[in-house]
Structure 1
Amino acid sequence: MSPTEIHHWNLALRSQSPLEIVRWAIAKANGRAIVSTNFRPYEAVVLHLATQVQPDIPVLWVDHGYNRAATYRHAEQLRAQLGLNLKAYLPRISPAHRDAIHGEIPTPADEDALKQFSAVMKLEPFQRGMKELAPTVWITALRKVQNPNRAELDIVSPDGNFGTLKVSPVFHSSDAEMEAYLTKHGLPNEWDYFDPAKADEKRECGLHASWGAQAVATV
């Protein structure tokens, strides 16, 4: 996929609905599409879109073990409601083991330690999942409004960390549009979500940033 192709696809898809974008992505994958999730707010939208087109699409979820109880209940509710083909990947070390050896989760004040936490507890299991599932197309819930780094992406982008075509069907969707979709389709939301690998909403955990692949290489 050349930069010219990526540019052309983004121009063509900008006027399409999220469902039409998902149909395009899954057709392009030739049976090797996945959708990833962390069950954060509004993730139900992308999961519903993907399963409408391909009911058995693999759903890659890294369960790093630090999710709050509400997030785990939300995950089980969506698994049952949408019949998710959930592929959960766990870190090679448990949260209790990690905390006993290294202490509390690092804060953004210690960026190096936070990147190492991300690499061990989130990026390594995600990379393992991507290798085993071997997708050619990776459908994500990325949205332009989420943080400054993501505003530089687009609906379609090549992913250098995992060697896939990354497709974000709700990239240009607003919170109001996401809320309307949830209401229309009777889908739940989850607001008690916290990602310890990010520590705040303006930081990237490494999945969609160039430093992610380098960090996993040190694990």
Structure 2
Amino acid sequence: MKYTEEIIVEWNKKFAEASPGEIVSWALEQAENAVVTTNFRPYEVNILHAVTKVNRGTKVIWCDTGYNTPNTYKHAEELIATLGLNIHLYVPKQTSSHRDAVMGIPGIEDPNHAIFTEQVKLEPFGRAMQEHKPDVWFTNLRKGQTALRNTLDIFSVSKAGVLKVSPFYHWEDTQLDAYLREHNLPNEHKYFDPTKVLENRECGLHT
């Protein structure tokens, strides 16, 4: 389905005050092949819980850069088990040890940083989306995270034409924390993303 700007604007107005659960339920009704992507960063548990509460079998795509902290890996394993996530794991074609030996983790001013980002995040993500070919893509993008994300909304369209759904787009951290307490869910804060470095910097997945 092709999404016109008018349709996206209409949906964003219609669901501006809707709960994440209502947004997820409606989006799943429209979907033939939905996925939710995650890297198990802080507050990713919110979107994973909201989606799988409606449909436990929704495919969860995890693109693991290979540079997560031990805490993040433990957090991921905990959520996979407790939420019964239907995980589809994608990793870079080169091991982190091999890459560290020949390149390391380039700084964001280093021309090699773009190559690094392509290897550890963009290529695995592109491979995942090509293999699964989703028509609905759940994300935990939120307003205020980056300049680009401030231009989006609950509903947006990826450059490949996939409907992106961000049910918590208008939520603040305090609201997400309350959601976690309500559902007795753990969060993760010892997270490291070598492709972004800075919190307000995009890595390229959503551009």
- When normalised by structure 2's length, the TM-score is 0.96
Larger relative helix fraction: 1
Deviations 1:158-214 (A, max 9, x none): 100x331111000000000000000000100011001001011011111011xxxxx
The answer on 1:208 being equivalent to 2:206 is yes
Cross-structure match for 1:185: 183
Cross-structure match for 2:128: 129
SS in 2 for 1:148: coil
The answer on 1:23 being equivalent to 2:22 is no
The answer on 1:4 being equivalent to 2:6 is yes
The answer on 1:116 being equivalent to 2:118 is no
Cross-structure match for 1:58: 59
Structure 1 vs Structure 2: percent identity of aligned residues?
Answer: 49
Letter in 2 for 1:28: Q
Q: How many residues align?
A: 205
Letter in 2 for 1:25: A
Deviations 1:2-45 (A, max 9, x none): 11111101111101111111111111112x00001010001100
The answer on 1:45 being equivalent to 2:46 is yes
Which runs of at least 4 in structure 1 moved beyond 4 Å after TM superposition?
none
SS in 1 for 2:46: helix
- When normalised by structure 1's length, the TM-score is 0.91
Structure 2 distance, partners of 1:192, 1:169, is: 24
Cross-structure match for 1:140: 139
Cross-structure match for 1:34: 35
Confirm or deny: 8 A CA contact 1:44 1:78 kept in the other structure: yes
Shift of 1:145: 2.0
Shift of 1:113: 2.3
Cross-structure match for 1:197: 195
Confirm or deny: 8 A CA contact 1:145 1:174 kept in the other structure: no
Q: Runs of 5+ in structure 1 lacking a partner?
A: 210-219
Structure 2 distance, partners of 1:194, 1:44, is: 16
